[in-house]
Homo-oligomer: A and B are copies of this chain.
Amino acid sequence: MGEIEELKAEIRKFADARDWEIFHTPKNLSMAIAGEAGELVAEFQWLTADESAKNSLSEAQKIAIGLEVADVAIYLLRLADVLGINLEEVVRAKLKINEGRFPTQD
Contact = CB atoms under 8 A, between A and B. Distances in A.
A76 to B, nearest CB: 6
Nearest to A17: B104
A44 B31 contact: yes
Chain A's interface: helix, strand, loop or mixed, by majority?
A: helix
A90 B76 contact: no
Interface string A37-74: 11111111111110011100100001001110111111
Nearest to A48: B49
B44 A70 contact: no
Interface of A: 2-4, 7, 10-11, 14, 17-18, 23, 25-28, 30-49, 52-54, 57, 62, 65-67, 69-74, 76-77, 79-80, 82-85, 87-88, 90-95, 97-99, 102, 104
